[in-house]
Structure 1
Amino acid sequence: MSYAYDPELAPLISLLPVFGPADLPTLRAQSVTGDSGPPYDPPVPVDIRDRTIPGPADAPDVAVRVYTPEGGGDGPRPGVLYLHGGGFLFGAPQTFDASTTRTAAEAGAVVVSVDYRLAPENPYPAGLDDCYAALLWVAKSATELGIDPDRVAVYGESAGAGLAAALTLLTRDRGGPPLCYQYLGIPELDDRLDTPSMRAYVDTPLWNRPMAEFSWDSYLGPGRRGASDVSGYAAPARAGDLSGLPPATVVTCHYDPMRDEGIDYAQRLAQADVPVELRLYPGTFHGSVLAHGAAVSKQMIAEALASLRRGLGVSSANRES
């Protein structure tokens, strides 16, 4: 198919890597060697430390990377639990160092990025269990981390946004720890793969239907994708009740197979009386925010930070910038 990409993004398409399920070892190797974006020079120093925290019961400990900006007064800061993308299959905190450093510096928040277990070796619920364990640790260690426990948000992108949505459901149903806000960037939410965008976009850059099929088959286990009894904690689009969840921002891209499941989820949040902001960026594709020189990509980054600051109750006048 041909697509009306944003004029600044269109010339980059031919330069982007084309990968499939067979490329998983390469993707994993690349994701642990460094950041996926250009260098970022924060306006304030950001202390970055790797920690190992208690994992779920009968499971390994969880590695996290903690980003703490300097300055900002004497009181506790808001906290952000960051869940990286990668189709449940690849990715690591260091892959997204630039974006998490930017979030810490420009939102004035302590960011905890979770190195959750990956599929297919560790299918659902391993990754979600690790994220919940990290949230429990953040709540328990709030004083040590300098975090205000009443201002903790979850921020996820792609598969990480699916985990973020699932985490809000899990914390609601388990009675905490509380989350004040959820940011769902280009979220992976629905294993049924039956929306118009998912049926149409079989050859789009960076993410397409074949990769979505592989992702869900790996995360849920063979033969589970599309089954009637898949849990809403695994695929949040399956959740029957979205009431009582924290305010949300949902971001979608025009030529993204997961566009419509994000739009549908935002609409259902609104119908459940959850405050929600939905953004759809024309001419973009899944992951096009990585094209940092394009105006639309700069807009996506700026608006994501603005939404996060609002969700955390950080005024523009007091932000670290």
Structure 2
Amino acid sequence: RHTGFIYAPPQAVRLFHEGRFVGPFVYGLNYQLDRDTLQRIYTVDHSKIYPIRFLCRSEAYRFWGLIEMDVRLFCAARGGTLFLLGTDRMGRDMFSRLAIGSRISLTIGFVGVAISFLLGIVIGGLAGYYGGWVDSIVQRVIEVLRSFPVLPLWMALSAALPVTWSPLWIYFGITLILGLLDWTGLARAVRSKLFALREEDFATAAQLMGASPSRIIGRHLLPSFTSHLIASATLSIPAMILGETALSFLGLGLKPPITSWGVLLSEAQNINVVALYPWLMLPVVPVIVTVLTFNFLGDGLRDAADPYK
């Protein structure tokens, strides 16, 4: 946090100074206060050169909250600043906040998909293997859940979380909400696959040998379309990330001091702030890149797992 550099613009990384190669560095920043608009106006000071240091030592911190370290990947020279993506209204470096926010946004995506993946396999497997009244109950529950619009349902459940909860409990609550409402599609896919596979000879042979239903489902039926399950799970990750981003942007998800991409975007809701400090919209870039990456990866896995191609 740099209280002397509120809403500082991004500093460009340069390699040459006055035609001479000096390595990666940034120029210093000077600012003055506009007395009419009370806006800080920053100018580049070409007389101040701050080389970028790599693997430099700084104050101790815990990497991922587990490993105590005092080495950073890169930092500015002593007495200088390095704002690759600018700063916010409190002088906090946006690049650092984006990196920290990626941990929350990505873990919500992975943990939420893990919850929905487990529920979809278990519930869909029971419906597809047993059929009958079990399948009827599961299908009615799925139809009820899918009859609600997804985003309003997320918003209603997120708003129902107690305001007295700590940010950590809110994080777990949002993850559970996203995971518990996303299993229906996978459950239907698993059900339809098991309906076709449970009559195959290998499944009948396992049943005649005395294998339990859980063993037949887990050891014989599910491995037959594992690649399809992996592709479906990969395609579900972007929806989880977008869900957390949307809820936090609307003020119904995570809140400070927890940092996520949605929390960072919520600070850019004021059109005047965005017009004056457009770098506050930069958190939308990793969201788009991550969503497209997982979509392309999921499409590739799905095509590779297609037995008819």
TM-score (norm 1): 0.21
So what's the TM-score if we normalise by structure 2?
0.21
Q: Highest Rg: 1 or 2? A: 2
Please identify which structure carries the higher helix content.
2
